[in-house]
Chain A
Amino acid sequence: MKSIRLGCGSASWGDMLDPVIELAERGDVQYIGFDHLAELTMSILQRMKVKDPKRGYIPDLVPWMKKLLPIARDKGIRMLTNAGGANVEAAGDAVAALAREIGIRGLKLGLVYGDDVLDRLPALRAQGLKLANLDTGEEDIDRVADRIVAANVYLGSEGQVEALGEGADLVITGRATDASVYIAPMVHELGWSLEDAEKMGAAITIGHIIECSAGCAGGMSNFWKDVKEPWRVAFPIAEVFENGDAVITKPEGSGRMVTEWTVKEHLVYEVHDPARYLMADGVADITGVKLRSDGPNRVHVTGCRGMKRPDTLKLCIGYEEGWIGESEISVCWPDAYEKAQFCERFLRGRFEELKLPVLEARYDYIGLNSIHGPLAKLPSNLDEINEIRLRVAVRTTSKENANLVRREVTHLWTHGPVGTTAVISPPPPRQVVALWPTLIPRELVSQRVEMREVE
Protein backbone atom coordinates (compact mmCIF):
# COMPACT_ATOMS: atom_id res chain seq x y z
CA MET A 1 0.00 0.00 0.00
CA LYS A 2 1.28 3.44 -0.88
CA SER A 3 2.34 5.63 2.05
CA ILE A 4 4.15 8.87 2.80
CA ARG A 5 6.03 10.22 5.79
CA LEU A 6 5.25 13.76 6.99
CA GLY A 7 7.03 15.56 9.79
CA CYS A 8 5.78 18.39 11.97
CA GLY A 9 8.16 21.36 12.04
CA SER A 10 6.39 23.84 14.29
CA ALA A 11 3.31 24.39 16.45
CA SER A 12 3.50 28.15 16.79
CA TRP A 13 5.62 31.23 16.28
CA GLY A 14 8.60 30.78 18.57
CA ASP A 15 8.68 26.98 18.57
CA MET A 16 12.01 25.14 18.83
CA LEU A 17 14.27 24.77 15.78
CA ASP A 18 16.59 21.92 16.85
CA PRO A 19 13.95 19.15 16.73
CA VAL A 20 13.09 20.19 13.15
CA ILE A 21 16.72 19.93 12.11
CA GLU A 22 16.85 16.46 13.68
CA LEU A 23 13.61 15.56 11.88
CA ALA A 24 14.94 16.77 8.52
CA GLU A 25 18.31 15.06 8.90
CA ARG A 26 17.25 11.76 10.45
CA GLY A 27 13.46 11.51 10.16
CA ASP A 28 13.34 9.97 6.68
CA VAL A 29 10.42 12.27 5.78
CA GLN A 30 9.29 13.51 2.36
CA TYR A 31 7.42 16.55 3.71
CA ILE A 32 7.63 18.89 6.68
CA GLY A 33 4.69 21.13 7.63
CA PHE A 34 4.95 24.25 9.79
CA ASP A 35 2.15 26.02 11.64
CA HIS A 36 3.32 29.36 12.99
CA LEU A 37 0.02 31.15 13.57
CA ALA A 38 -2.11 31.50 16.70
CA GLU A 39 -5.28 33.55 17.01
CA LEU A 40 -3.43 36.67 18.11
CA THR A 41 -0.57 36.32 15.63
CA MET A 42 -2.40 37.63 12.56
CA SER A 43 -3.17 40.96 14.25
CA ILE A 44 0.46 41.40 15.36
CA LEU A 45 1.68 40.62 11.83
CA GLN A 46 -0.91 42.91 10.26
CA ARG A 47 0.43 45.77 12.38
CA MET A 48 4.02 44.96 11.43
CA LYS A 49 2.98 45.19 7.79
CA VAL A 50 1.28 48.56 8.27
CA LYS A 51 4.52 49.94 9.76
CA ASP A 52 6.71 48.39 7.08
CA PRO A 53 5.32 46.87 3.85
CA LYS A 54 8.33 44.52 3.68
CA ARG A 55 7.33 42.84 6.97
CA GLY A 56 4.22 41.14 8.31
CA TYR A 57 5.36 37.52 7.96
CA ILE A 58 6.80 35.33 10.73
CA PRO A 59 10.34 36.71 11.30
CA ASP A 60 11.63 33.20 12.18
CA LEU A 61 11.00 32.11 8.59
CA VAL A 62 14.31 33.36 7.19
CA PRO A 63 16.71 32.11 9.91
CA TRP A 64 14.86 28.77 9.98
CA MET A 65 15.02 28.36 6.22
CA LYS A 66 18.69 29.26 6.27
CA LYS A 67 19.26 26.08 8.31
CA LEU A 68 16.60 23.92 6.69
CA LEU A 69 16.77 24.66 2.96
CA PRO A 70 20.22 23.05 2.48
CA ILE A 71 19.12 19.89 4.35
CA ALA A 72 15.82 19.77 2.45
CA ARG A 73 17.65 20.16 -0.87
CA ASP A 74 20.04 17.35 0.07
CA LYS A 75 17.30 14.95 1.22
CA GLY A 76 14.62 15.95 -1.30
CA ILE A 77 12.20 17.16 1.39
CA ARG A 78 9.40 19.54 0.43
CA MET A 79 8.10 22.00 2.99
CA LEU A 80 4.81 23.83 3.60
CA THR A 81 4.36 26.72 6.01
CA ASN A 82 1.76 29.33 6.94
CA ALA A 83 4.56 31.68 8.05
CA GLY A 84 3.51 34.08 5.28
CA GLY A 85 1.13 35.47 7.90
CA ALA A 86 -0.15 38.88 6.82
CA ASN A 87 2.35 39.28 3.98
CA VAL A 88 2.89 36.18 1.85
CA GLU A 89 4.48 38.17 -0.95
CA ALA A 90 7.14 39.71 1.30
CA ALA A 91 7.81 36.29 2.83
CA GLY A 92 8.39 34.95 -0.68
CA ASP A 93 10.75 37.84 -1.47
CA ALA A 94 12.72 37.24 1.73
CA VAL A 95 13.10 33.49 1.18
CA ALA A 96 14.02 34.01 -2.49
CA ALA A 97 16.75 36.46 -1.44
CA LEU A 98 18.00 34.00 1.16
CA ALA A 99 18.04 31.11 -1.34
CA ARG A 100 20.14 33.20 -3.74
CA GLU A 101 22.47 34.18 -0.91
CA ILE A 102 23.11 30.59 0.24
CA GLY A 103 23.13 29.15 -3.27
CA ILE A 104 19.95 27.05 -3.37
CA ARG A 105 19.54 27.47 -7.12
CA GLY A 106 16.30 26.58 -8.89
CA LEU A 107 14.28 26.59 -5.67
CA LYS A 108 10.59 26.61 -6.54
CA LEU A 109 8.39 28.68 -4.25
CA GLY A 110 4.62 28.31 -4.24
CA LEU A 111 2.90 31.35 -2.72
CA VAL A 112 -0.76 30.96 -1.76
CA TYR A 113 -2.99 34.03 -1.34
CA GLY A 114 -6.63 34.58 -0.45
CA ASP A 115 -7.02 34.49 3.34
CA ASP A 116 -6.81 38.26 3.92
CA VAL A 117 -10.24 39.88 3.49
CA LEU A 118 -9.59 43.04 5.52
CA ASP A 119 -9.98 45.34 2.51
CA ARG A 120 -13.08 43.47 1.34
CA LEU A 121 -14.98 43.80 4.65
CA PRO A 122 -16.88 47.03 3.76
CA ALA A 123 -18.02 45.50 0.47
CA LEU A 124 -19.04 42.24 2.19
CA ARG A 125 -21.03 44.15 4.78
CA ALA A 126 -22.64 46.27 2.05
CA GLN A 127 -23.68 42.98 0.44
CA GLY A 128 -25.64 42.24 3.62
CA LEU A 129 -23.23 39.95 5.51
CA LYS A 130 -23.74 40.69 9.22
CA LEU A 131 -20.80 38.52 10.39
CA ALA A 132 -22.43 37.40 13.67
CA ASN A 133 -20.00 36.62 16.51
CA LEU A 134 -19.75 32.83 17.05
CA ASP A 135 -18.58 33.24 20.66
CA THR A 136 -20.96 35.88 22.00
CA GLY A 137 -23.91 35.53 19.62
CA GLU A 138 -23.81 39.26 18.87
CA GLU A 139 -25.55 39.50 15.51
CA ASP A 140 -23.91 42.45 13.78
CA ILE A 141 -20.28 43.49 13.66
CA ASP A 142 -21.33 47.13 13.24
CA ARG A 143 -20.45 48.05 16.86
CA VAL A 144 -16.73 47.41 16.39
CA ALA A 145 -16.42 48.01 12.62
CA ASP A 146 -14.30 51.15 12.98
CA ARG A 147 -11.74 49.37 15.22
CA ILE A 148 -10.98 46.34 13.03
CA VAL A 149 -7.27 45.67 12.40
CA ALA A 150 -7.24 42.22 10.77
CA ALA A 151 -9.65 39.84 9.05
CA ASN A 152 -8.41 36.45 7.91
CA VAL A 153 -10.22 33.39 6.62
CA TYR A 154 -8.98 29.97 7.74
CA LEU A 155 -8.15 28.54 4.32
CA GLY A 156 -8.23 24.88 3.40
CA SER A 157 -5.52 23.07 1.49
CA GLU A 158 -6.65 23.65 -2.14
CA GLY A 159 -4.06 26.30 -2.97
CA GLN A 160 -1.26 24.30 -1.36
CA VAL A 161 -2.27 21.17 -3.31
CA GLU A 162 -2.11 23.22 -6.50
CA ALA A 163 1.33 24.57 -5.60
CA LEU A 164 2.64 21.05 -4.94
CA GLY A 165 1.20 20.01 -8.30
CA GLU A 166 3.21 22.83 -9.89
CA GLY A 167 6.35 21.42 -8.31
CA ALA A 168 6.84 23.76 -5.33
CA ASP A 169 9.74 22.85 -3.04
CA LEU A 170 8.47 25.30 -0.43
CA VAL A 171 4.84 26.42 -0.13
CA ILE A 172 4.16 29.63 1.79
CA THR A 173 0.61 30.61 2.78
CA GLY A 174 -1.07 33.06 5.13
CA ARG A 175 -3.84 32.03 7.52
CA ALA A 176 -4.40 28.49 6.33
CA THR A 177 -5.64 26.01 8.95
CA ASP A 178 -3.05 24.37 11.17
CA ALA A 179 -3.75 20.96 9.64
CA SER A 180 -3.77 22.13 6.00
CA VAL A 181 0.03 22.00 5.68
CA TYR A 182 -0.26 18.23 6.30
CA ILE A 183 -3.50 17.63 4.41
CA ALA A 184 -2.07 19.08 1.18
CA PRO A 185 0.79 16.55 0.85
CA MET A 186 -1.56 13.65 1.70
CA VAL A 187 -3.93 14.76 -1.05
CA HIS A 188 -1.09 15.37 -3.50
CA GLU A 189 0.79 12.12 -2.89
CA LEU A 190 -1.95 9.61 -2.09
CA GLY A 191 -4.30 10.65 -4.88
CA TRP A 192 -7.08 11.62 -2.49
CA SER A 193 -9.84 13.95 -3.62
CA LEU A 194 -10.75 17.05 -1.63
CA GLU A 195 -14.35 15.94 -2.23
CA ASP A 196 -13.77 12.55 -0.55
CA ALA A 197 -15.31 13.14 2.89
CA GLU A 198 -13.92 9.96 4.48
CA LYS A 199 -10.34 10.64 3.36
CA MET A 200 -10.58 14.29 4.37
CA GLY A 201 -11.78 13.14 7.80
CA ALA A 202 -8.66 10.97 8.03
CA ALA A 203 -6.39 13.75 6.76
CA ILE A 204 -7.79 16.22 9.30
CA THR A 205 -7.49 13.73 12.17
CA ILE A 206 -3.89 12.79 11.34
CA GLY A 207 -2.97 16.42 10.70
CA HIS A 208 -4.54 17.36 14.04
CA ILE A 209 -2.52 14.71 15.90
CA ILE A 210 0.87 15.99 14.71
CA GLU A 211 0.18 19.70 14.14
CA CYS A 212 1.10 20.79 17.67
CA SER A 213 4.70 19.56 17.37
CA ALA A 214 5.68 17.82 20.63
CA GLY A 215 2.02 17.91 21.76
CA CYS A 216 1.60 14.24 20.77
CA ALA A 217 5.15 13.30 21.75
CA GLY A 218 5.39 14.06 25.46
CA GLY A 219 5.01 17.85 25.50
CA MET A 220 2.29 19.36 27.77
CA SER A 221 1.94 15.83 29.05
CA ASN A 222 0.32 14.19 32.06
CA PHE A 223 3.20 11.72 31.69
CA TRP A 224 5.95 14.29 32.19
CA LYS A 225 7.44 12.17 34.97
CA ASP A 226 8.28 9.50 32.37
CA VAL A 227 10.44 11.96 30.43
CA LYS A 228 14.03 11.02 31.27
CA GLU A 229 15.91 13.82 29.51
CA PRO A 230 13.58 16.85 29.46
CA TRP A 231 15.85 18.90 27.19
CA ARG A 232 15.71 16.39 24.34
CA VAL A 233 12.52 17.46 22.58
CA ALA A 234 11.37 15.43 19.57
CA PHE A 235 8.85 16.38 16.90
CA PRO A 236 6.43 13.80 15.49
CA ILE A 237 6.17 12.04 12.16
CA ALA A 238 3.00 10.65 10.58
CA GLU A 239 3.39 7.72 8.24
CA VAL A 240 0.13 7.96 6.30
CA PHE A 241 -1.29 5.09 4.25
CA GLU A 242 -3.43 5.27 1.15
CA ASN A 243 -6.43 3.79 3.00
CA GLY A 244 -6.49 6.62 5.57
CA ASP A 245 -4.73 4.82 8.44
CA ALA A 246 -1.49 6.15 9.91
CA VAL A 247 1.38 5.42 12.25
CA ILE A 248 2.51 8.23 14.54
CA THR A 249 6.21 8.02 15.34
CA LYS A 250 9.35 10.19 15.73
CA PRO A 251 12.93 10.22 14.42
CA GLU A 252 15.05 7.18 15.26
CA GLY A 253 17.16 7.83 18.36
CA SER A 254 15.40 11.07 19.32
CA GLY A 255 14.29 11.96 22.87
CA ARG A 256 10.86 12.00 24.59
CA MET A 257 8.24 9.41 23.57
CA VAL A 258 5.28 8.58 21.38
CA THR A 259 2.80 6.28 23.17
CA GLU A 260 -0.91 5.52 22.97
CA TRP A 261 -1.32 7.98 25.84
CA THR A 262 0.67 10.84 24.33
CA VAL A 263 -1.24 10.48 21.05
CA LYS A 264 -4.57 10.29 22.88
CA GLU A 265 -3.69 13.41 24.86
CA HIS A 266 -3.46 15.37 21.66
CA LEU A 267 -6.38 13.71 19.95
CA VAL A 268 -8.74 15.05 22.63
CA TYR A 269 -7.16 18.53 22.57
CA GLU A 270 -9.21 21.45 21.20
CA VAL A 271 -11.56 19.34 19.05
CA HIS A 272 -14.84 20.34 20.76
CA ASP A 273 -17.59 18.07 19.31
CA PRO A 274 -15.51 14.95 18.49
CA ALA A 275 -18.11 13.69 16.00
CA ARG A 276 -17.95 16.98 14.11
CA TYR A 277 -14.48 18.52 14.20
CA LEU A 278 -14.96 21.33 11.70
CA MET A 279 -12.14 22.32 9.39
CA ALA A 280 -12.01 24.12 6.07
CA ASP A 281 -11.20 20.86 4.29
CA GLY A 282 -13.93 18.77 5.86
CA VAL A 283 -15.50 17.51 9.06
CA ALA A 284 -13.66 14.84 11.02
CA ASP A 285 -15.39 12.31 13.25
CA ILE A 286 -12.96 10.85 15.77
CA THR A 287 -15.54 8.80 17.71
CA GLY A 288 -14.42 5.67 15.85
CA VAL A 289 -10.66 6.21 16.07
CA LYS A 290 -8.63 3.38 17.60
CA LEU A 291 -5.05 3.73 18.86
CA ARG A 292 -2.80 0.69 19.10
CA SER A 293 0.87 0.53 20.01
CA ASP A 294 2.87 -0.93 17.15
CA GLY A 295 6.37 -1.23 18.64
CA PRO A 296 8.38 1.33 20.63
CA ASN A 297 7.41 4.93 19.73
CA ARG A 298 4.98 3.76 17.05
CA VAL A 299 1.21 4.19 17.44
CA HIS A 300 -1.19 2.90 14.81
CA VAL A 301 -4.22 5.12 14.15
CA THR A 302 -7.26 3.52 12.48
CA GLY A 303 -10.99 4.19 12.15
CA CYS A 304 -10.85 7.82 11.04
CA ARG A 305 -14.11 9.03 9.52
CA GLY A 306 -15.41 12.20 7.95
CA MET A 307 -18.34 14.11 6.59
CA LYS A 308 -18.86 16.52 3.72
CA ARG A 309 -16.93 19.76 4.10
CA PRO A 310 -18.87 22.76 5.44
CA ASP A 311 -20.37 25.41 3.15
CA THR A 312 -18.91 28.17 5.31
CA LEU A 313 -15.36 28.99 6.34
CA LYS A 314 -14.19 30.44 9.65
CA LEU A 315 -13.28 34.10 9.49
CA CYS A 316 -11.38 35.60 12.40
CA ILE A 317 -11.61 39.35 12.79
CA GLY A 318 -9.40 41.26 15.23
CA TYR A 319 -10.43 44.63 16.66
CA GLU A 320 -8.84 47.05 19.10
CA GLU A 321 -10.24 46.91 22.63
CA GLY A 322 -8.13 49.15 24.88
CA TRP A 323 -4.76 48.57 26.55
CA ILE A 324 -3.49 46.28 29.31
CA GLY A 325 -1.03 47.51 31.92
CA GLU A 326 0.40 44.95 34.32
CA SER A 327 3.10 44.55 36.91
CA GLU A 328 4.22 42.46 39.87
CA ILE A 329 5.88 42.93 43.23
CA SER A 330 6.97 40.54 46.01
CA VAL A 331 6.18 40.61 49.72
CA CYS A 332 7.85 38.40 52.34
CA TRP A 333 7.47 36.70 55.72
CA PRO A 334 6.25 37.62 58.29
CA ASP A 335 2.61 38.28 57.44
CA ALA A 336 3.18 37.89 53.69
CA TYR A 337 -0.51 37.30 52.95
CA GLU A 338 -1.65 40.38 54.86
CA LYS A 339 1.10 42.43 53.22
CA ALA A 340 -0.09 41.37 49.78
CA GLN A 341 -3.64 42.39 50.72
CA PHE A 342 -2.26 45.75 51.91
CA CYS A 343 -0.60 46.23 48.51
CA GLU A 344 -3.82 45.40 46.70
CA ARG A 345 -5.70 47.97 48.80
CA PHE A 346 -2.96 50.53 48.09
CA LEU A 347 -3.31 50.02 44.33
CA ARG A 348 -7.12 50.06 44.30
CA GLY A 349 -7.07 53.31 46.27
CA ARG A 350 -4.40 54.92 44.12
CA PHE A 351 -6.21 54.06 40.88
CA GLU A 352 -9.33 55.69 42.31
CA GLU A 353 -7.47 58.84 43.35
CA LEU A 354 -5.83 59.07 39.93
CA LYS A 355 -9.26 58.59 38.31
CA LEU A 356 -7.73 55.86 36.16
CA PRO A 357 -10.39 54.53 33.77
CA VAL A 358 -10.39 50.88 34.90
CA LEU A 359 -12.37 48.83 32.36
CA GLU A 360 -11.38 45.56 34.07
CA ALA A 361 -8.90 44.75 36.81
CA ARG A 362 -7.47 41.58 38.27
CA TYR A 363 -5.26 40.96 41.31
CA ASP A 364 -3.41 37.65 41.49
CA TYR A 365 -1.54 36.22 44.49
CA ILE A 366 1.23 34.27 42.78
CA GLY A 367 2.19 31.27 44.89
CA LEU A 368 -1.33 31.00 46.30
CA ASN A 369 -4.04 30.90 43.65
CA SER A 370 -3.03 32.85 40.55
CA ILE A 371 -3.56 29.89 38.20
CA HIS A 372 -6.49 27.94 39.64
CA GLY A 373 -8.31 30.93 41.14
CA PRO A 374 -11.18 30.30 43.57
CA LEU A 375 -10.77 26.51 43.21
CA ALA A 376 -7.29 26.60 44.77
CA LYS A 377 -7.56 25.91 48.51
CA LEU A 378 -5.59 28.36 50.64
CA PRO A 379 -3.02 26.66 52.90
CA SER A 380 -3.96 26.33 56.59
CA ASN A 381 -0.75 28.05 57.69
CA LEU A 382 -1.46 31.23 55.75
CA ASP A 383 0.35 33.40 58.30
CA GLU A 384 3.54 31.37 57.94
CA ILE A 385 3.85 31.63 54.16
CA ASN A 386 7.36 32.62 53.06
CA GLU A 387 6.51 34.94 50.19
CA ILE A 388 3.78 36.01 47.80
CA ARG A 389 4.10 37.81 44.52
CA LEU A 390 1.24 40.21 43.85
CA ARG A 391 0.36 40.72 40.22
CA VAL A 392 -2.03 43.39 39.01
CA ALA A 393 -3.46 43.63 35.49
CA VAL A 394 -5.74 46.43 34.36
CA ARG A 395 -7.48 46.92 31.05
CA THR A 396 -7.83 50.63 30.39
CA THR A 397 -8.32 53.13 27.59
CA SER A 398 -4.86 54.21 26.46
CA LYS A 399 -1.19 53.38 26.50
CA GLU A 400 -0.54 56.26 28.93
CA ASN A 401 -3.10 54.89 31.38
CA ALA A 402 -1.65 51.40 31.05
CA ASN A 403 1.75 52.84 31.92
CA LEU A 404 0.28 54.40 35.08
CA VAL A 405 -0.50 50.89 36.35
CA ARG A 406 3.16 49.95 36.12
CA ARG A 407 4.27 53.17 37.74
CA GLU A 408 1.95 52.82 40.74
CA VAL A 409 3.32 49.34 41.44
CA THR A 410 6.88 50.72 41.62
CA HIS A 411 5.65 53.12 44.35
CA LEU A 412 5.00 50.11 46.57
CA TRP A 413 8.76 49.62 46.76
CA THR A 414 9.13 52.65 48.96
CA HIS A 415 5.55 53.22 50.19
CA GLY A 416 4.50 49.63 50.88
CA PRO A 417 5.08 47.34 53.88
CA VAL A 418 8.58 46.51 55.13
CA GLY A 419 10.47 44.12 52.86
CA THR A 420 8.39 44.78 49.73
CA THR A 421 10.71 44.23 46.77
CA ALA A 422 11.57 42.80 43.35
CA VAL A 423 9.57 44.85 40.86
CA ILE A 424 12.12 43.78 38.22
CA SER A 425 10.98 45.09 34.81
CA PRO A 426 7.26 44.89 34.20
CA PRO A 427 6.13 44.04 30.66
CA PRO A 428 5.42 47.09 28.48
CA PRO A 429 1.76 48.08 27.99
CA ARG A 430 0.10 46.01 25.27
CA GLN A 431 -2.76 46.96 23.04
CA VAL A 432 -5.65 44.54 23.23
CA VAL A 433 -6.83 43.00 20.02
CA ALA A 434 -10.07 41.21 20.77
CA LEU A 435 -11.24 38.49 18.43
CA TRP A 436 -14.51 38.31 16.61
CA PRO A 437 -14.87 34.81 15.18
CA THR A 438 -17.48 34.49 12.46
CA LEU A 439 -18.36 32.56 9.29
CA ILE A 440 -18.16 33.48 5.61
CA PRO A 441 -19.76 31.56 2.70
CA ARG A 442 -17.13 29.38 1.02
CA GLU A 443 -17.96 30.70 -2.45
CA LEU A 444 -16.90 34.22 -1.42
CA VAL A 445 -13.33 33.09 -0.77
CA SER A 446 -10.92 32.06 -3.50
CA GLN A 447 -7.27 31.07 -3.35
CA ARG A 448 -4.60 32.19 -5.79
CA VAL A 449 -1.24 30.52 -6.32
CA GLU A 450 1.90 32.28 -7.54
CA MET A 451 4.90 30.16 -8.52
CA ARG A 452 8.42 31.60 -8.42
CA GLU A 453 11.68 29.96 -9.33
CA VAL A 454 14.84 31.28 -7.68
CA GLU A 455 17.62 31.78 -10.23
Chain B
Amino acid sequence: MARRVQLKDVAYARSGDKGDVVNIGVMAKDPRAYKLLEKYLTASRVKEHFRDIVKGDVVRYELPNLDSLEFVLRNALGGGATRTLMMDQTGKAYGPNLLRLTLDVEESDE
Protein backbone atom coordinates (compact mmCIF):
# COMPACT_ATOMS: atom_id res chain seq x y z
CA MET B 1 0.00 0.00 0.00
CA ALA B 2 1.43 3.37 -0.93
CA ARG B 3 0.46 6.94 -0.19
CA ARG B 4 1.26 10.12 -2.04
CA VAL B 5 3.23 12.94 -0.49
CA GLN B 6 3.61 16.30 -2.17
CA LEU B 7 7.01 17.82 -1.45
CA LYS B 8 5.35 21.15 -0.56
CA ASP B 9 3.84 19.55 2.55
CA VAL B 10 7.11 18.16 3.94
CA ALA B 11 9.84 20.56 2.80
CA TYR B 12 10.90 24.11 2.02
CA ALA B 13 13.16 25.01 -0.91
CA ARG B 14 15.37 27.84 -2.12
CA SER B 15 17.09 27.97 -5.50
CA GLY B 16 19.70 30.07 -7.25
CA ASP B 17 22.03 30.16 -10.24
CA LYS B 18 25.67 30.09 -11.24
CA GLY B 19 26.05 30.35 -15.00
CA ASP B 20 23.80 27.74 -16.60
CA VAL B 21 23.66 25.71 -13.38
CA VAL B 22 20.71 25.91 -10.99
CA ASN B 23 20.94 24.69 -7.42
CA ILE B 24 17.99 23.84 -5.21
CA GLY B 25 18.37 23.50 -1.47
CA VAL B 26 15.54 21.33 -0.11
CA MET B 27 15.00 21.67 3.64
CA ALA B 28 12.87 18.99 5.32
CA LYS B 29 10.33 20.42 7.73
CA ASP B 30 11.43 17.93 10.42
CA PRO B 31 13.90 15.03 10.87
CA ARG B 32 11.26 12.42 9.98
CA ALA B 33 10.54 14.18 6.71
CA TYR B 34 14.28 14.23 6.04
CA LYS B 35 14.40 10.41 6.25
CA LEU B 36 11.60 10.29 3.71
CA LEU B 37 13.34 12.67 1.33
CA GLU B 38 16.66 10.90 1.72
CA LYS B 39 14.97 7.67 0.63
CA TYR B 40 12.61 8.87 -2.10
CA LEU B 41 13.79 12.23 -3.46
CA THR B 42 16.61 10.87 -5.58
CA ALA B 43 18.57 12.75 -8.22
CA SER B 44 16.89 10.73 -10.96
CA ARG B 45 13.43 11.55 -9.54
CA VAL B 46 14.29 15.28 -9.66
CA LYS B 47 15.75 14.94 -13.15
CA GLU B 48 12.55 13.25 -14.32
CA HIS B 49 10.43 16.02 -12.76
CA PHE B 50 12.37 18.69 -14.66
CA ARG B 51 12.80 16.63 -17.83
CA ASP B 52 11.29 19.27 -20.13
CA ILE B 53 13.31 22.11 -18.59
CA VAL B 54 16.71 20.80 -17.47
CA LYS B 55 18.92 19.52 -20.27
CA GLY B 56 21.90 18.31 -18.24
CA ASP B 57 22.53 16.03 -15.26
CA VAL B 58 21.12 16.35 -11.78
CA VAL B 59 23.39 15.58 -8.83
CA ARG B 60 22.27 15.23 -5.20
CA TYR B 61 24.24 16.00 -2.05
CA GLU B 62 23.14 15.21 1.50
CA LEU B 63 23.25 17.53 4.52
CA PRO B 64 21.90 15.39 7.39
CA ASN B 65 23.20 18.01 9.83
CA LEU B 66 20.67 20.48 8.41
CA ASP B 67 17.97 17.92 7.43
CA SER B 68 18.53 19.16 3.90
CA LEU B 69 19.35 17.95 0.42
CA GLU B 70 21.15 19.95 -2.21
CA PHE B 71 20.42 19.41 -5.91
CA VAL B 72 22.64 20.72 -8.68
CA LEU B 73 20.98 20.93 -12.11
CA ARG B 74 23.26 21.42 -15.13
CA ASN B 75 22.31 23.06 -18.45
CA ALA B 76 19.23 24.23 -16.65
CA LEU B 77 18.73 27.91 -17.39
CA GLY B 78 18.73 28.34 -21.15
CA GLY B 79 22.40 29.34 -21.20
CA GLY B 80 22.59 31.23 -17.90
CA ALA B 81 21.14 34.47 -16.53
CA THR B 82 22.90 36.73 -19.01
CA ARG B 83 21.64 35.05 -22.17
CA THR B 84 18.54 33.05 -21.29
CA LEU B 85 15.17 33.96 -22.78
CA MET B 86 13.40 32.58 -19.71
CA MET B 87 11.55 35.05 -17.50
CA ASP B 88 13.02 33.45 -14.37
CA GLN B 89 16.51 34.51 -15.40
CA THR B 90 18.22 33.56 -12.15
CA GLY B 91 16.40 30.33 -11.36
CA LYS B 92 14.73 31.73 -8.25
CA ALA B 93 11.45 29.91 -8.97
CA TYR B 94 12.95 26.41 -9.45
CA GLY B 95 12.67 25.75 -5.71
CA PRO B 96 8.89 26.27 -5.61
CA ASN B 97 8.59 24.36 -8.90
CA LEU B 98 10.29 21.33 -7.34
CA LEU B 99 7.81 21.48 -4.43
CA ARG B 100 5.10 20.43 -6.93
CA LEU B 101 6.67 16.98 -7.10
CA THR B 102 4.65 14.11 -5.63
CA LEU B 103 6.36 11.07 -4.14
CA ASP B 104 4.82 7.61 -3.85
CA VAL B 105 5.73 6.56 -0.36
CA GLU B 106 5.32 3.08 1.17
CA GLU B 107 2.89 3.00 4.09
CA SER B 108 5.65 1.70 6.38
CA ASP B 109 7.53 4.97 5.85
CA GLU B 110 5.85 7.52 8.06
A contacts, CB < 8 Å to B: 38-40, 43, 134-136, 220, 222, 261, 264-275, 286-291, 303, 318, 321, 324, 326, 360-362, 364, 366, 370-375, 391, 393-395, 432-435, 437
Contacts and interface: CB of A to CB of B under 8 A. Distances in A.
A265 B12 contact: yes
Interface size on B, as a range, is 35 or more
B70 A40 contact: no
B65 A288 contact: yes
Contacts of A40: 81-82
B25 A265 contact: yes
Contacts of B50: 375
What 10 A-B pairs are tightest by C-beta distance, nearest first?
Answer: A268-B25, A222-B12, A362-B85, A270-B16, A393-B85, A374-B52, A40-B82, A434-B83, A432-B83, A372-B97
A268 B62 CA distance: 11
B82 A372 contact: no
B82 A318 contact: yes
B23 A272 contact: yes
B40 interface: no
10 contacts: A135-B74, A264-B27, A269-B14, A275-B61, A286-B66, A371-B97, A372-B96, A374-B53, A395-B85, A435-B82
B58 to A, nearest CB: 12
Nearest to A223: B12
A434 B12 contact: no
B65 A289 contact: yes
B87 A264 contact: no
Nearest to B86: A362
B101 to A, nearest CB: 9
A433 B97 contact: no
Contacts of A375: 49-50, 52-53, 97, 100
A269 B66 contact: no
Contacts of B66: 264, 267-268, 286, 289, 291
A274 B69 CA distance: 10
B21 interface: yes
A265 B85 contact: no
B45 interface: no
A39 B3 CA distance: 43
A370 B87 contact: yes
Contacts of A393: 85
A246 to B, nearest CB: 16
Nearest to B100: A375
Contacts of B64: 287
A398 to B, nearest CB: 16
Nearest to B88: A371
Given A222-B12, A434-B80, A272 B25 contact: no
B52 to A, nearest CB: 4
A153 B2 CA distance: 52
Nearest to A432: B83
Given A269-B14, A372-B93, 8 more contacts: A135-B74, A267-B66, A269-B15, A361-B85, A371-B88, A375-B50, A375-B100, A437-B19
A268 B14 contact: yes
Interface string B69-109: 01010110011111101111000110011001000000000
A290 B67 CA distance: 11
B76 to A, nearest CB: 10
Contacts of B32: none
A220 B14 contact: yes
B13 interface: yes
A272 B57 CA distance: 13
Contact of B61 (A274, A374, A433): A274
A226 to B, nearest CB: 12
B5 interface: no
A215 to B, nearest CB: 9
Interface string B29-66: 00000000000000000000110110000000111111
A371 B93 contact: yes
B65 A287 contact: yes
A270 B23 contact: yes
Contacts of A432: 82-83
B13 A222 contact: yes
A361 B93 CA distance: 21
B66 to A, nearest CB: 6
